[in-house]
Chains A and B, each alone.
Chain A
Amino acid sequence: MATVVTRVRRSFSTHWYAWAMVLPVVIVLAVLVGYPLGRGVYLSFTDANEANVGRTIGVNRIPATYQFVGLDNYWKVLSGQEGHFYSRLTWTVLWTASCVLLHYALGLGLALLLNRKVRFRALYRVLLILPWAVPAFVATFSWRLMFNEKYGVLNALLTQVGMDPVDWLGDATLQKVSAVAVNVWLGVPFMMVAILGGLQSIPAELHEAAEMDGASPWQRFRHVTLPGLRPVSGTVILLGVIWTFNMFQVIYLLIGQGASSESEILVTYSYRLAFQGVRDYAGSATYGILILSLLLVFAVFYRRLLTRQEAATR
């Protein structure tokens, strides 16, 4: 017993200032993230909705009457009874994969071009970063105008060259294509700048040595550039996947609330459950927890993949 006390005391005396420094963050996280998360998990085990949560109308306080229903919500969603989860999950995965792939490929391509000695490089760089400087909600509204079926500039250009106008935001498939296009436009600059930073940190001697050894440009790209980019790529792809999976604004503002819900990703659907029609707090919380679980599983696997790759190359 006494040894435990001394150990705690010794540990405290060595680490007290470290703990004091992280204390504010821990408090903020506990109050603003931990507690709501706990509550969210709890809500997902209940049947809470607008009609049965506690609320105040005028001076009357109406107590909450929702009940604990255990894993019922999860069962409904995962067994397909609720009927939307798997189709939305498929679309969300497709959306994330296509956006991140395009972000990375285009970002890498442009970064490689900008990494060469080229005239007007500074000007190109500024122009290419421009979409990142535009706030996402502004850009999304602007694209919505350009996609407009009757008055949009894209259809105006199509009719100029003699093609039929296209219902960009009304058709179920084209909605998705449009959303991916907007998100790619917004997201490429970040990837480009990040990868450019990675390219510039690869020592030039490596390329020179490979060239002396007679490696072709493609071989140099495969065996010098890509491995050198690995740390940066690992981080930006992870961030990109998380951000895109949770990308609320583009889908919500571009397709609007009146559109076919086919194009909703999990996050926007969860939001709709919570705040449109009869507010289904429990269903929304269930979706939220499921999204979080999916992302966590992905992140764990991804990290493992990266460490295994690193071990293999050493």
Chain B
Amino acid sequence: MSGTTRRPRERGQRSRGASVALHTALICASAISLFPVLFIVFVSLRGRDGWQEPTRFVGFDFSNYTHILSETKFLTWFGNSVIVALGATVLGVLIAATAGYAVSRMRFPGHRPLMWTFLVVQMFPMAVLIVPLYNILGELELLDSYAGLVLTYCSVSVPFCAWMLKGYFDSIPAEIDEAGRVDGLTPFGTFWRLIVPLARPGLAVTGFYSFITAWGEVAFASQFMSSEDHYTLAVGLQTFVGQQKAEWGLMTAAAVLITVPAGLVFFLAQRHLVAGLTAGGTKG
């Protein structure tokens, strides 16, 4: 390639200065993204009042961790968060998968409005739904119950899952369906036996996304779960640092315990996550 013009460098080679600049920029950005995380781990290991001296490196112990695991309801909240998020995920993905497939493969009357509905519901601010849902759940006596919160989260996760899954199904060649049909499968049979197994990664990622969304939801959970035994983590953590209390030591320990499992799972799933998010939207 470089035979035509005489250049001091091979094509695609960087000068030393450009290399240094590139690495400097990346190191700075990495430091900014890493610092808060490291800082919280650091504070959580400094005991109950260590947070008041953020720049001293003394007094490391695990007392915050032992305290929240034994003296607070942290584990109960953790369980609640898992129950609610799992419920919303399973229900959301199950219901959304068939719809995503139908919208991806078949042209039927009502197809476009349905696609639009999926998209528009993404825009709903929870402010529109929270009061009516609060009243409805109150009527049904589902306030302060897992079922109520799971249903609430379905209103968010179902349209989203359907939208994402449509994108995944679009990326599976339609010839596969046709082959299934030729071999005498019904549309449902094709879906269950051919497409669902192929779309397993897509289902996993979609499920993971709705799990994370439900896991970290604050507004609905804060209002709908009123008894301490039913708090999710996002609500429970607010009791550590409120108007009168500032248990930052406990808060940071809880933060670490929440982030480690969530972060691990996240890194396994994130590669596929974005592909699905942007694939669903580009083809109307």
Chain A residues with CB under 8 Å of chain B are: 11, 14-15, 17-19, 21-22, 24-26, 28-29, 32-33, 35-37, 39-40, 43, 53, 106, 109-110, 113-114, 116-119, 124, 126-139, 141-146, 150-153, 156-157, 160, 185, 188-190, 193-194, 197-198, 211, 231-232, 234-236, 238-239, 242, 245-246, 248-249, 252-253, 256-258, 266-267, 270-271, 274-275, 281, 284-285, 287-289, 291-292, 295-296, 299
Contact = CB atoms under 8 A, between A and B. Distances in A.
Interface stretch (B58-66, B69-77, B106-114, B199-207): B106-114
Choose among A126, A133, A231, A246 the residue with the greatest number of B CB atoms under 10 Å from its CB.
A133
Nearest to A14: B108
A146 B248 CA distance: 11
Nearest to B134: A274
Contacts of B109: 11, 15
Contacts of A198: 278
B98 A21 contact: yes
A215 B52 CA distance: 56
A5 B5 CA distance: 76
A242 B154 contact: no
Contacts of A129: 267, 270
A132 B99 CA distance: 29
B278 A267 contact: no
12 contacts: A25-B158, A33-B129, A37-B128, A40-B132, A142-B39, A153-B39, A193-B270, A234-B281, A239-B122, A245-B125, A281-B131, A296-B123
What's the interface size class on B, roughly? 35 or more
A116 B19 CA distance: 11
Interface of A is mostly: helix
A206 to B, nearest CB: 15
Contacts of B22: 113, 116, 118
A134 B264 CA distance: 10
Given A15-B109, A18-B106, A248-B219, A32 B155 contact: yes
Choose among B26, B133, B136 the residue with the greatest number of A CB atoms under 10 Å from its CB.
B26
Contacts of A15: 106, 108-109
Contacts of B134: 274
Nearest to A242: B123
Contact of A288 (B99, B117, B128): B128
Contact of B127 (A118, A142, A284): A284
A144 B242 CA distance: 12
Contact of A145 (B26, B33, B215, B251): B251
Contacts of A236: 278
A198 to B, nearest CB: 8
Contact of B259 (A11, A17, A138, A144): A138
B262 A292 contact: no
Given A242-B123, A292-B123, A144 B223 contact: no
B151 A32 contact: yes
